[in-house]
Amino acid sequence: MKFLVLCVLAYCLTFSIVEAKVRHYKWEVKYELKSPDCYKKLAITINGRTPGPSIVAQQGDTIVVELKNSLLTENVAIHWHGIRQIGTPWMDGTEGVTQCPILPGDTFVYKFVVDRPGTYLYHAHYGMQREAGLYGSIRVLLPDGESEPFAYDYDRSIILTDWYHKSTYEQAVGLSSIPFVWVGEPESILIQGRGKFDCSKAGIIPEMCNATSPDCSPYTMTVVPGKTYRLRIGSLTALSALSFEIEGHNMTVVEADGHYVEPFVVKNLFIYSGETYSVLIKTNQSSTRNYWITAKIVGRNNTTPSGLAVLNYYPNHPKRIPPTPPPVGPQWDDLAPRLSQSLAIKSHRNFIHPPPQTSDRVIVMLNTQNNISGYRRWSVNNVSFNLPHTPYLIAYKHNLLHTFDQRPPPDDYASTEDIFSVAENANATTSNAAYRLQFNTTVDIILQNANTMTKNNSETHPWHLHGHDFWVLGYGRGKFDKINDPNKYNLVDPIMKNTVVVHPFGWTALRFRADNPGVWAFHCHIESHFYMGMGVVFEEGVDRVGKLPRSIMGCGDAKGYHRP
């Protein structure tokens, strides 16, 4: 580390100059037969692995990923989830929004800066490829000499996912058919890419399932007694909300989506797709045995077995099964503890980023299911989202506005809407219009949940915003009250996040500054829901974006701009 001494008038200050590094990765994306839950199926891998290689860097480093698409018949794109891409909006990796897809056989170079420490993710952002295994973790460390507001001895990353045996194409065909065919519940929950499917089930072809395969032996995390471990837990489920639990151990939540949390203790960590948390655990239990790590589906009535891993206390053998049954976990339909955890997450008292006290624009987004021309869709304010053929960033920058609908989407929905009933939604439509935000203004988003097309049913939706963090101002049950509920906002120490949950028949309020020039997706992180239209796009300050690289072009009306 170098030091700079700056003297102004009579005062001299010493600044540390951290020499940022450039970290190169060379990845090949291709299909391989894998058995992560003992059942053999095609998975999308990076250099033969799923989860893919972890990216570990320090704040300020430049990441360069040379990505070769060897899928032969499929396009691909990778989103760097939680990385704001300040100054590089074309590297967000969102096909149809910030770039054209990477064609089979092509190599694309992603290059961006990780500008702040924290726990982040990467995953496919083309179709529903994420759930086929194309994902991994990003760990951004503080510069040398700086410390965090908590202490630990060891640092580990764990990714939670759900796993389907049907291909993403089979699922997509069902979602796009008349009659509608739902994807159903996942076959397994994977902890760090490993789960367990019952190969003895009727109708399972023996050659397709091998319960003794080493590929599906439980993930084992070996720990030393008497230490403190930081577990960076990320969820990239396609559908499921999860309760994460470590038998006999409490967890202290200290980070959420890259921001320090005023610490609080939980037995079960509720985590939704797209979220990351850091928790501290103390290995202070008996070292004569191992302990279960579980991930159980909540929020949906399901028959999927909980994901199981092993906390291995050294010197026990890693394959030694814990002597007790795995924890049962909370009831799937018990909403109270999930809402309670959401409300408990506040910014660490020494790391509060004060939110603007007022906003310039309020957009209320009602999430509903709709039938549009006989197709089952998800909608925001009765508008179901479709991606255009020409990515928005290219269209705005090169004045190709004819490539998508220029009618502005609605900022609100009818105040007479009954969120507790199955809505007729007779006026629902599809569109690829974008919200245009005035640069550097403050925007409030109210996410309002409602009844689905099934009576007395409302689902859990995790919403993810690209290119920004937002302040989570509040949660509530029932219909949002525009007059009284804003008076309950937390404007003192709200946590900042990039992904937030909307609970069944409830609302969530968030606030962000439209200060990152570009075009950014905001969508439900459930794969099938986004595929079915549950998302929007924000444009802000595109006139401030620099010259776009030709490598992101080559599709739609941008075909003529691409030069290999």
Chain centre to alpha carbon of residue 324: 33
Burial of 490 (0-12, 13-18, 19+ CB in 10 A): middle
Residues with Cβ < 8 Å from 120, sequence gap 6 or more? 80, 81, 82, 83, 114, 137, 138, 139, 140, 234, 258, 276
**Is residue 8 scored above 60 in pLDDT?**
no
Task: Band the pLDDT of 203: cuts 50, 70, 90.
Answer: confident
- 461-465 and 375-380 as β-strands: parallel, antiparallel, unpaired? unpaired
Quick one: CATH architecture of 144-344? Sandwich (2.60)
CA dihedral 114, 116, 119, 120 (to 10 degrees): -40
**Is residue 444 scored above 70 in pLDDT?**
yes
The alpha-helical segments, DSSP class H, found in 144-294 are 168-175
pLDDT in tens, 309-318: 999 999 999 9
Query: What is the pLDDT, as a whole number, of residue 427?
Result: 76
Mean pLDDT over 31-52 rounds to 97
Least confident span in 40-44, 183-187, 201-205: 201-205
pLDDT in tens, 239-290: 999 999 999 999 999 999 999 999 999 999 999 999 999 999 999 999 999 9
Neighbours of 247 (CB within 10 A): 18
Tell me the three state secondary structure of residue 277: strand
> Rounded distance, CA 301 to CA 280, Å?
30
**Is residue 339 scored above 90 in pLDDT?**
yes
Quote the CATH superfamily of domain 361-558: Cupredoxins -  blue copper proteins (2.60.40.420)
Query: What is the pLDDT, as a whole number, of residue 352?
Result: 97
**From the CA atom positions of the chain, what is the Rg in Å?**
23
Count of CA atoms in the C-beta half-sphere (13 A) of 511: 20
Structure tokens at 33: 């037969």
Mean pLDDT over 131-136 rounds to 97
Strand partners, 194: 191
pLDDT in tens, 468-502: 999 999 999 999 999 999 999 999 999 999 999 99
> Rounded distance, CA 43 to CA 41, Å?
6
Closest CA to 187 of 297, 330, 309, 42: 297
Question: Which residue is associated with the tokens 């990923």?
Answer: 65
DSSP letter at 250? -
* Domains of the chain, residue spans: 144-344, 361-558
Give yes or no on whether 144-344 and 361-558 have one common fold: yes
Structure tokens at 50: 């799923």
Mean pLDDT over 524-537 rounds to 97
Query: What is the pLDDT, as a whole number, of residue 12?
Result: 46
Task: Band the pLDDT of 185: cuts 50, 70, 90.
Answer: very high
Task: Band the pLDDT of 562: cuts 50, 70, 90.
Answer: low
